[in-house]
């Protein structure tokens, strides 16, 4: 028995002969990505036996269809092991086929065995990528030289397995959706599949099942045909993720000012950067004057409690009142910053919890501080989430007040509420790397910071920001450890701020693609599109000890004539669709390509 499941982009053929096999073939008229080869869809193993699909007898096959979907259901039973199987193939008739595996164990509870699920069909998909094609693994779409992922992942965002042809055109994506991150408790083992980071892990994947006598989902593959390769696959991930996100905070006009900011300063008040020890008072004016060497700060995070907090019974709120000049002193510092068009965030520390503190008292303090100081928001120390009551308290005092968390928001409610966070990282070296959230949600402002980088390591930090098109947090006094930027590094940041400000729409627009396909080993690329102007920016990074020359990448998205070097090596040119030139060893370059008539 053979059944074809086909839409405009995807074609699968189910073969029920001596087992359960699946074949993928590109739709007629399109460049084939895979060879047409039957592969066993699944197998099970336990300590006692291996159950290939031919151990299951087909009980029935059912089909149904309406104007938008068609459904093929296969019912099967393994009489030896008393296992029930239901396979559902749901075709949306446009571009995606959903394959849902359901199983049940009819043995008595004390007689049930643990089984491990494996899909030879899934394991073999990458074998048939054409020569020169590209494979993107869910947890490692671009690898560093040591094989580890160059993508800084996010627990809410799950990438697919993507296979494309050499031109990043024809291909497919296999997604592994899951509604829960409870890795042990959930029956659906997609929580294992979207962690696959290499060909070896894909070929050897094995997921423990804990079956009951009720049919339940054990795995789901969403098989989608592609016409624009990785670019299309990534855009689908972004669309599917953002449509389930409440974007109202990002759309509020009074909060959009933060997305215009580029350079943020972590102002340790008792640093000589910010405090006049001769006169015993803060000197915000001098701090801002010094910041002009970087191109000028856009925000200050005015930090004054920790590490003194905890030496006595004073709370963080007491320290606000103990600020030099008390609350009026903070208001004076904010006013000075505002006179220079610089915004000010005040710190909130969730770990400072006194016996008299409650949510109501916290909200009262937040509201009072915003009203009494005219500060522009709060920096949420150590936090990756915040209650909605914070936003309502801010709205009552100053609707344009922003909340910026130290860590990326970890759940969708917090990501909807918090429109900014730090892209903080600790590893050295930190290149090549790209932050997944930055590309999925460009409207979430996330300046980069790695506080302990010093000396030449700060050049790598700057390169990381340029490579990803993001702003920076300048933090030189790390609670008494002085880690300054050199004059050359300040100048580099100043030039980058000018460039970023001029091209801000490219870096804050929705169509950004990390790890755009390239033509050289150890070369990495991100692409940022400004669709209104029919132009895009490419950032390249050479992660090798030698210059990389020749064809770097193929420009694919619109007809272009102009190639302009914005940063780094000036000898990059556009020859037809080919971006050709040299990327120096260890350097980042930035190229702007436009469709203007030469």
Identify the architecture of domain 248-502 in CATH.
Alpha-Beta Barrel (3.20)
pLDDT, one tens digit per residue, over 56-78 is: 999 999 999 999 999 999 999 99
Rounded-to-integer distance, Cα 436 and Cα 468, Å? 10
Span 129-143, mean pLDDT?
92
Rounded-to-integer distance, Cα 72 and Cα 579, Å? 46
pTM listed for this prediction: 0.93
32 pLDDT higher than 80 = no
More confident residue, 31 or 588: 588
Which one, of 96, 79, 78, 85, lies nearest residue 9 by Cα?
A: 96
Per-residue confidence band for 30, with pLDDT thresholds at 50, 70 and 90: low
Span 509-519, mean pLDDT?
92
371 pLDDT higher than 90 = yes
* Helix locations, 346-406, DSSP H: 359-373, 388-397
Buried b (16+ CB within 10 A) or exposed e, 71-103: ebbbbbbbeebebbbbbbbbbebebbbbbbbbb
Per-residue confidence band for 472, with pLDDT thresholds at 50, 70 and 90: very high
* Lowest model confidence (mean pLDDT) among 38-52, 343-357, 398-412, 477-491: 343-357
Encoded tokens for 427: 């590893």
Which one, of 590, 577, 574, 495, lies nearest residue 542 by Cα?
A: 590
**Could you tell me the sign of the dihedral formed by the alpha carbons of 177, 181, 184, 187, in that order?**
negative
Span 25-34, mean pLDDT?
53
Predicted local confidence at residue 183, as pLDDT = 54
Rounded-to-integer distance, Cα 120 and Cα 203, Å? 8
Per-residue confidence band for 530, with pLDDT thresholds at 50, 70 and 90: confident
Per-residue confidence band for 598, with pLDDT thresholds at 50, 70 and 90: very low
pLDDT, one tens digit per residue, over 381-411 is: 999 999 999 999 999 999 999 999 999 999 9
Which uninterrupted H or E stretch holds 319?
A: helix 316-321
Predicted local confidence at residue 288, as pLDDT = 98
Equal fold, 248-502 vs 512-594 = no
Rounded-to-integer distance, Cα 597 and Cα 25, Å? 40
List residues bridging with 379 in a β-sheet.
Answer: 347, 404
* Lowest model confidence (mean pLDDT) among 25-39, 306-320, 323-337, 348-362: 25-39
Predicted local confidence at residue 597, as pLDDT = 56
List residues bridging with 497 in a β-sheet.
Answer: none
Rounded-to-integer distance, Cα 435 and Cα 507, Å? 13
CATH number for the 2-242 domain, one of 3.30.43, 3.30.2320, 3.60.21, 2.70.98? 2.70.98
**Beta carbons of 467 and 526 less than 8 angstroms apart:** yes
Span 224-228, mean pLDDT?
92
Per-residue confidence band for 212, with pLDDT thresholds at 50, 70 and 90: very high
Which one, of 260, 292, 255, 459, lies nearest residue 376 by Cα?
A: 255
Neighbouring CB atoms inside 10 A of 236's CB total: 18
pLDDT, one tens digit per residue, over 543-594 is: 999 999 999 999 998 999 899 999 997 889 999 999 999 999 999 999 999 9
Question: Where would I find the beta strands (DSSP E) of 355-447?
Answer: 377-380, 402-405, 420-421, 423-424, 434-435
pLDDT, one tens digit per residue, over 268-280 is: 999 999 999 999 9
Span 443-461, mean pLDDT?
94
Span 199-223, mean pLDDT?
94
**Beta carbons of 535 and 507 less than 8 angstroms apart:** no
Please give the mean pLDDT across all residues of the chain. Answer: 92
Per-residue confidence band for 5, with pLDDT thresholds at 50, 70 and 90: very high
Rounded-to-integer distance, Cα 215 and Cα 306, Å? 54
Among residues of the chain, what percentage have pLDDT more than 70? Answer: 95
Predicted local confidence at residue 26, as pLDDT = 62
Among residues of the chain, what percentage have pLDDT more than 90? Answer: 84
Task: Show me where the domains of the chain are located.
Answer: 2-242, 248-502, 512-594
Predicted local confidence at residue 130, as pLDDT = 82
Predicted local confidence at residue 33, as pLDDT = 47
How many CA atoms does the CB half-sphere of 319 hold within 13 Å? Answer: 21
Predicted local confidence at residue 34, as pLDDT = 45
More confident residue, 471 or 354: 471
As assigned by CATH, the class of the 512-594 domain is: mainly beta
Query: Beta 377-380 vs 343-348: how paired, if at all?
Result: parallel
Predicted local confidence at residue 571, as pLDDT = 82
pLDDT, one tens digit per residue, over 152-200 is: 999 999 999 999 999 999 899 999 988 755 555 567 788 899 999 999 9
Quote the radius of gyration of the chain (alpha carbons, Å). Answer: 28
Per-residue confidence band for 38, with pLDDT thresholds at 50, 70 and 90: confident
Q: What's the start-to-end Cα distance of the chain, in Å?
A: 59
Which one, of 471, 557, 548, lies nearest residue 512 by Cα?
A: 557
């Amino acid at each position: 028995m053979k059944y074809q499941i086909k839409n405009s982009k995807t074609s699968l053929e189910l073969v029920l002969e001596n087992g359960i096999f699946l074949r993928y073939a590109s739709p007629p008229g399109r460049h084939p990505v895979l060879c047409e080869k039957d592969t066993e869809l699944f197998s099970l193993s336990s300590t006692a036996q291996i159950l290939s699909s031919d151990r299951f007898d087909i009980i029935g096959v059912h089909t149904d269809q309406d104007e938008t979907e068609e459904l093929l259901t296969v019912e099967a039973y393994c009489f030896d092991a008393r296992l029930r199987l239901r396979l559902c193939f749901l075709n949306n008739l446009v571009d995606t086929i959903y394959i849902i595996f359901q199983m049940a164990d009819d043995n008595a509870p004390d007689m049930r065995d643990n089984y491990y699920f494996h899909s030879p069909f899934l394991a073999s998909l990458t074998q048939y990528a054409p020569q020169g094609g590209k494979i993107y693994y869910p947890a490692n779409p671009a690898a560093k030289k040591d094989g580890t992922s160059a993508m800084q992942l996010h627990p809410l965002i799950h990438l697919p397995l993507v296979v494309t042809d050499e031109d990043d055109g024809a291909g497919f994506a296999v997604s592994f959706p899951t509604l829960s991150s409870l890795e042990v408790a959930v029956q659906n083992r997609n929580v294992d599949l979207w962690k696959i980071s290499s060909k070896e892990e894909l070929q050897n994947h094995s997921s423990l099942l804990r079956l009951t006598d009720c049919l339940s989902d054990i795995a789901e593959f969403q098989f989608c045909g592609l016409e624009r390769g990785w670019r299309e696959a990534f855009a689908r991930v972004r669309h599917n993720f953002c449509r389930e996100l409440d974007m109202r905070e990002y759309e509020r006009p009074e909060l959009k000012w933060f997305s215009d900011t580029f350079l943020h300063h972590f102002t340790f008040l008792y640093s000589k950067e910010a405090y006049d020890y001769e006169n015993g008072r803060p000197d915000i004016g001098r701090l801002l004057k010094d910041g002009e060497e970087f191109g000028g700060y856009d925000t200050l995070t005015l930090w004054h409690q920790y590490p003194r907090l905890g030496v006595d019974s004073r709370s963080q709120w007491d320290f606000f009142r103990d600020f030099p000049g008390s609350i009026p002193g903070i208001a004076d510092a904010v006013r000075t910053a505002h006179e220079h068009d610089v915004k000010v965030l005040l710190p909130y520390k969730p770990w400072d919890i006194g016996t008299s503190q409650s949510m109501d008292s916290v909200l009262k303090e937040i509201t009072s501080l915003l009203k009494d100081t005219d500060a522009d928001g709060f920096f949420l120390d150590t936090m990756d989430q915040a209650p909605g009551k914070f936003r309502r308290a801010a709205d009552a005092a100053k609707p344009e007040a922003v909340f910026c968390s130290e860590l990326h928001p970890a759940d969708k409610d917090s990501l909807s509420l918090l429109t900014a966070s730090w892209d903080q990282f600790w590893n050295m070296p930190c290149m090549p790397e790209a932050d997944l959230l930055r590309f999925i949600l460009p409207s979430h402002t996330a300046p980069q910071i790695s506080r302990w980088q010093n000396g030449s390591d700060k050049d790598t930090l700057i390169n990381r920001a340029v490579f990803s098109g993001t702003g920076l947090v300048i933090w030189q006094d790390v609670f008494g450890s002085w880690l300054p930027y050199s004059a050359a590094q300040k100048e580099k940041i100043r030039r980058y701020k000018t460039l970023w400000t001029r091209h801000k729409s490219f870096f804050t627009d929705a169509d950004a693609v990390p790890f755009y396909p390239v033509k050289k080993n150890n070369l990495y690329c991100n692409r940022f599109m400004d669709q209104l102007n029919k132009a895009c920016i490419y950032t390249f990074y050479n992660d090798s000890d030698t210059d990389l020359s020749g064809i770097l990448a193929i420009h694919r998205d619109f007809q272009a004539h102009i190639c302009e070097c914005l940063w780094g090596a000036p000898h990059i040119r556009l020859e037809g669709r080919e971006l050709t030139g040299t990327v120096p060893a260890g350097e980042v370059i930035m190229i702007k390509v436009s469709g203007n008539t030469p």
